[in-house]
């Protein structure tokens, strides 16, 4: 069949394509690299014609015109599953609302609860068989696409073709309209310069990683630091099963450490849901049969995660209290990031035979007034959101050490957490623990 003919029949300008959006519609914007800038700009120009159009997206680092053009939010109302740095600023400006959601539930939410009138997102150019590839963030797209009444694809020649399950591609027969236009190269997320705290935290985690372990790295600078240290170590035959594929995995591959040979689930394949890094990472992803993109409801399933023997999960957080509760998404009432898949991997890693979960943070931070504050707090009171309940907490790591909270009582947790707090705050935390009734007189200070 000549799919090029069907393609041409569905080809429109961005301005023509967005005419299908009506008052009151729910629109899905693809996540991160799948965000459609040409369609977004064209839709923003229709602001005064439309009312009550609502949007869902997540991790979008680009300017979102439909949010920026309507400060009253009477015409366009944007919401996100997980804040990028840019979306965080939109929230603070009152131009974005946050949707709490554990990532493994994303597709079920769309299947059973949420409406999508129009899904619009970027994809690779169509191949000769009529398929487009959804590339680096396909893992978050399958559910919304299946639910969408209408689908518009924006072709972006810069996107790598990522191999994987059926959710990685969409056929021209399932697409309503296609648009073309010029795009900048994919946005890069280069490896950040490591801090001395990052270096120390990585050193505390490294001894717990063994040959043949499967690794999950979260967002942030720590994974790249740890990846570099593992690359220089004697470890071998490591695997990848992760929500987010970052530069750290490419470092491990180039050093010969990432072979995926000893994985229990999809051996020989590095498995991921999303990807973000520098251009070298995108080049590595392109048509790489050793890597596999998988939908988030699968790659983040605790049962699937646990199917990998010795899965090591490494993520970051905002703070931890002395009870072992973990806040990874807010500072008080201020939304910073999102729920994401951290709870998925904390749960799955501990279920994995020999697996471990590490939640890492610097021991202190500076507030807006420049005052140094401890990230280990006595207890939460100011609206902080609990991302991981204390009953699921495993290893907590700062630059002062790594402690395991699994199965530990309240006084044991307090003692262990205070031991890795910044020394300037330990006495104060001991006093608070006494007031809370979780401190033994025999505890070490």
137 and 279, same domain (yes or no)? no
> Percent of the chain, pLDDT > 90?
87
Question: What is the pLDDT, as a whole number, of residue 269?
Answer: 97
What confidence category does residue 394 fall into, taking pLDDT thresholds of 50, 70 and 90? very high
50 and 143, same domain (yes or no)? yes
Please compute the mean of the pLDDT values over residues 168-190 and round it to a whole number.
95
Mean pLDDT, rounded, of the chain:
94
Please compute the mean of the pLDDT values over residues 377-387 and round it to a whole number.
92
Question: What is the pLDDT, as a whole number, of residue 253?
Answer: 97
Question: What is the pLDDT, as a whole number, of residue 442?
Answer: 60
172 and 110, same domain (yes or no)? yes
222 and 119, same domain (yes or no)? no
User: Is the residue at 379 inside a domain?
Assistant: yes
Distances (CA, A) of 372 to 129, 199, 369, 424: 58, 21, 9, 10
C-alpha 205/C-alpha 199 separation (Å) is 10
The answer to whether residue 243 is catalytic is yes
Q: Which of 144, 179, 214 is the last residue of a domain?
A: 179
Question: What is the pLDDT, as a whole number, of residue 382?
Answer: 84
211 and 260, same domain (yes or no)? yes
SS3 assignment, position 170? strand
Q: How many domains does the chain have?
A: 2
Question: What is the pLDDT, as a whole number, of residue 61?
Answer: 92
Question: What is the pLDDT, as a whole number, of residue 441?
Answer: 66
Question: What is the pLDDT, as a whole number, of residue 76?
Answer: 98
User: Is the residue at 1 inside a domain?
Assistant: no
The owner of tokens 């392109």 is 286
Please compute the mean of the pLDDT values over residues 87-110 and round it to a whole number.
94
Distance separating the N- and C-terminal Cα atoms of the chain = 75
Please compute the mean of the pLDDT values over residues 90-102 and round it to a whole number.
94
Q: What is the CATH number of the domain that holds 295?
A: 3.40.1080.20
Other Cβ atoms within 10 Å of 303 Cβ, number: 12
Distances (CA, A) of 68 to 44, 58, 64, 93, 95: 9, 16, 6, 10, 7
C-alpha 370/C-alpha 68 separation (Å) is 31
Quote the Cα angle for 365-396-400, to 5°.
Answer: 60
The owner of tokens 């950040």 is 192
Q: In terms of C-beta density within 10 A (0-12 exposed, 13-18 middle, 19 or more buried), how is residue 157 classed?
A: exposed
User: Is the residue at 191 inside a domain?
Assistant: no
C-alpha 433/C-alpha 41 separation (Å) is 54
Q: Is the pLDDT of residue 259 over 60?
A: yes
Q: Looking at 20-29, 194-203, 219-228, 298-307, which range is the least confident one?
A: 219-228
User: Is the residue at 188 inside a domain?
Assistant: no
Q: Are 335 and 296 in contact (CB under 8 A)?
A: no
Residue of 197, 243, 292, 310 marked catalytic:
243
Provide the residue count of the chain: 445
**Torsion angle, CA of 229/230/231/237, rounded to 10 degrees?**
180
Do the strands 118-123 and 150-155 form a parallel or antiparallel pair, or are they unpaired? parallel
Model pLDDT for residues 340-371, shown as the tens digit of each residue: 899 999 999 999 989 999 999 999 999 889 99
128 and 274, same domain (yes or no)? no
Which residue spans within 311-394 are E strands per DSSP?
Answer: 311-316, 319-321, 326-327, 330-331, 334-335, 356-360, 364-366, 372-374, 376-377
Q: In terms of C-beta density within 10 A (0-12 exposed, 13-18 middle, 19 or more buried), how is residue 34 classed?
A: buried
Q: Which of 123, 148, 179 is the last residue of a domain?
A: 179
User: Is the residue at 190 inside a domain?
Assistant: no
What confidence category does residue 2 fall into, taking pLDDT thresholds of 50, 70 and 90? confident
206 and 154, same domain (yes or no)? no
Question: What is the pLDDT, as a whole number, of residue 222?
Answer: 81
What confidence category does residue 220 fall into, taking pLDDT thresholds of 50, 70 and 90? confident
Model pLDDT for residues 294-325, shown as the tens digit of each residue: 999 999 999 999 999 899 999 999 999 999 99
C-alpha 202/C-alpha 353 separation (Å) is 23
Q: Is the pLDDT of residue 180 over 90?
A: yes
What confidence category does residue 183 fall into, taking pLDDT thresholds of 50, 70 and 90? very high
Question: What is the pLDDT, as a whole number, of residue 191?
Answer: 79
Q: Is the pLDDT of residue 238 over 80?
A: yes
Model pLDDT for residues 36-59, shown as the tens digit of each residue: 999 999 999 999 999 999 999 999
SS3 assignment, position 119? strand
212 and 90, same domain (yes or no)? no
User: Is the residue at 441 inside a domain?
Assistant: no
Task: Return the structure tokens found at 127.
Answer: 């191949």
Question: What is the pLDDT, as a whole number, of residue 194?
Answer: 83
Q: What is the CATH number of the domain that holds 84?
A: 3.40.1080.10
> Percent of the chain, pLDDT > 70?
99
User: Is the residue at 227 inside a domain?
Assistant: yes
371 and 429, same domain (yes or no)? yes
242 and 348, same domain (yes or no)? yes
155 and 219, same domain (yes or no)? no
SS3 assignment, position 320? strand
Host domain of residue 20: 9-179
Please compute the mean of the pLDDT values over residues 191-196 and round it to a whole number.
84
Task: Kindly tell me the number of DSSP H helices and DSSP E strands found in the chain.
Answer: 16, 25
Q: Is the pLDDT of residue 445 over 70?
A: no
212 and 154, same domain (yes or no)? no
Question: What is the pLDDT, as a whole number, of residue 100?
Answer: 92
**Torsion angle, CA of 86/92/96/99, rounded to 10 degrees?**
90
Q: Are 84 and 67 in contact (CB under 8 A)?
A: no
Q: Which of 118, 153, 179 is the last residue of a domain?
A: 179
Closest CA to 61 of 78, 85, 29: 85
Please compute the mean of the pLDDT values over residues 102-113 and round it to a whole number.
92
User: Is the residue at 22 inside a domain?
Assistant: yes
């Amino acid at each position: 069949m000549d799919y090029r003919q069907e393609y041409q029949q569905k080809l429109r300008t961005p301005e023509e394509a967005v005419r299908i959006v009506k008052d009151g519609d729910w629109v899905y914007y693809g996540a991160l690299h799948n965000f459609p800038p040409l369609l977004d700009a064209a839709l923003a120009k229709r602001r005064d014609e439309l009312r009550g159009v609502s949007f869902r997206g997540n991790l979008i680092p680009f300017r979102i015109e439909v949010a920026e053009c309507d400060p009253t939010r009477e015409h366009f109302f944007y919401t996100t599953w997980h804040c990028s740095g840019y979306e965080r600023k939109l929230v603070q400006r009152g131009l974005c609302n946050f949707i709490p959601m554990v990532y493994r539930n994303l597709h079920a939410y769309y299947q059973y609860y949420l409406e999508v009138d129009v899904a619009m997102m970027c994809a690779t150019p169509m191949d000769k068989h009529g398929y487009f590839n959804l590339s680096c963030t396909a893992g978050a797209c399958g559910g919304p696409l299946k639910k969408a009444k209408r689908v518009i694809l924006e072709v972006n020649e810069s996107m790598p073709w990522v191999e994987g399950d059926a959710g990685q591609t969409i056929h021209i027969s399932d697409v309503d309209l296609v648009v073309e236009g010029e795009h900048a190269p994919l946005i890069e997320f280069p490896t950040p310069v490591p801090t001395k705290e990052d270096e120390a935290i990585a050193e505390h985690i490294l001894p717990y990683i063994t040959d043949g372990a499967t690794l999950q790295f979260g967002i942030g600078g720590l994974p790249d630091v740890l990846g570099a240290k593992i690359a220089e170590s004697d470890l071998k035959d490591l695997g990848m099963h992760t929500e987010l594929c970052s530069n750290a995995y490419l470092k491990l591959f180039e050093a010969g450490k990432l072979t995926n040979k000893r994985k229990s689930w999809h051996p020989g394949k590095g498995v991921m849901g999303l990807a973000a890094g520098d251009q070298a990472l995108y080049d590595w992803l392109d048509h790489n049969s050793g890597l596999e993109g998988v939908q988030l409801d699968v790659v983040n399933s605790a049962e699937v995660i646990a199917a990998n023997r010795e899965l090591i999960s490494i993520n970051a957080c905002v703070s931890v209290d002395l009870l072992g509760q973990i806040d990874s998404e807010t500072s008080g009432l201020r939304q910073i990031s999102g729920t994401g898949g951290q709870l998925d991997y904390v749960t799955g890693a501990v279920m994995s035979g020999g697996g471990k979960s590490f939640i890492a943070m610097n021991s202190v931070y500076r507030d807006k007034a420049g005052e140094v504050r401890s990230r280990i707090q006595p207890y939460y009171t100011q609206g902080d959101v609990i991302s991981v309940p204390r009953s699921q907490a495993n290893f907590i790591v700062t630059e002062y050490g790594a402690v395991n909270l699994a199965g530990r009582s309240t006084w044991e947790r307090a003692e262990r957490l205070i031991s890795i707090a910044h020394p300037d705050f330990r006495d104060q935390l001991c006093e608070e623990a006494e007031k809370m009734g979780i401190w033994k007189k025999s505890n070490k200070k």
